Amino acid sequence: MNTSNFKHPLRIFYSDDYAVDERLETVSKSKLLAEMITAGAVPGVELVAPKLATKAELLRIHSLEYVHNVLTGGLKYLAAGFWSKELLQSILATTGGMRDAVFEAFRNGRSGSLSSGLHHASTNNGKGFCTLNGLALAALVALEKVGEVGILDLDAHCGGGTADILKKNKKVRLADVSVCSYDAWTPIAKSRHFFEVVDRPGRYIAKVREALKALEGVEFLIYNAGMDTHEKAGGLDGITLDIIKEREALVVEWARERNVPIIFALAGGYMWSGLTLKEVAELHLETVKAFNS
């Protein structure tokens, strides 16, 4: 399918439902990022409230029992740490934001959602702060319009949940470059799966290039833009802001040059090494800047 070039404005999905609890970095940093965007940190970007994900959508990516437990509080706690109506509203919003970002990218070339906590959620379980896998939902939604979709996961940790849901799907290509083996998964098809855990910062960008090469030919790209790869946000010593900027530019240019619609999710990024939440949000702003370039 031939789609349009990037058109302005860049529309990103976010609502106050996303940021539910200031104790949870995974879902509270989005509010700071939204405030920076609204204040003009990246001129011209529009924030749009998504529709909540529906039960029918969740059943496309998770088992009936798991969905029932998530929706009713049967789990007592979600992967984010506890169960509450507000937290449920948050994850339904951040999952819906991924679906709406797909529609927007088909219209205008690129979009994103200030969603975090997606890629460790598997068919039957949540873990690692991830309850619902909005990346997987976005892939299935995009496949309603194109023949092959790619998911590029550059979070510090591996996307084992996404692989659990989608690695048998022959219309989905998974490319996962991490710097930590948490939630590692085993590729089952060399033609569709690229998996690499990098332990030296000097090799990181080269591996990102290889991952993009492995995605050659996909007609839609979903980018899990984790900032926890950064040396001070939970990642690998030597992965600096300059490397992160280079990475974001590479990914966006790859999509632009090929006229492939692209969306992003925020994914990980933490205060573990002494960053403030504002500094974590500023790292994520690099993704927004690259998408708006």
**Which residues contact Zn ion (rule: CB under 5 A)?**
155-157, 228, 268
Rounded distance between C-alpha atoms, residue 272 and residue 268, angstroms: 11
Q: Indicate the residue whose CB is closest to Zn ion.
A: 268
> How distant, in Å, are the alpha carbons of 73, 86, 283 from that of 271?
29, 23, 11
Residue closer to Zn ion, measured from CB, 157 or 247: 157
Residue closer to Zn ion, measured from CB, 10 or 267: 267
Residue closer to Zn ion, measured from CB, 11 or 119: 119
Least distance from Zn ion to the Cβ atom of residue 59, Å? 26
Q: Which residue has the tokens 């084992």?
A: 160
Residue closer to Zn ion, measured from CB, 52 or 154: 154
Least distance from Zn ion to the Cβ atom of residue 236, Å? 12
Least distance from Zn ion to the Cβ atom of residue 83, Å? 22
Bridge partners, residue 222, by sequence: 151, 263
Least distance from Zn ion to the Cβ atom of residue 240, Å? 18
From 129, 107, 110, select the one nearest 119 (Cα to Cα): 129
Least distance from Zn ion to the Cβ atom of residue 46, Å? 28
Residue closer to Zn ion, measured from CB, 57 or 248: 248
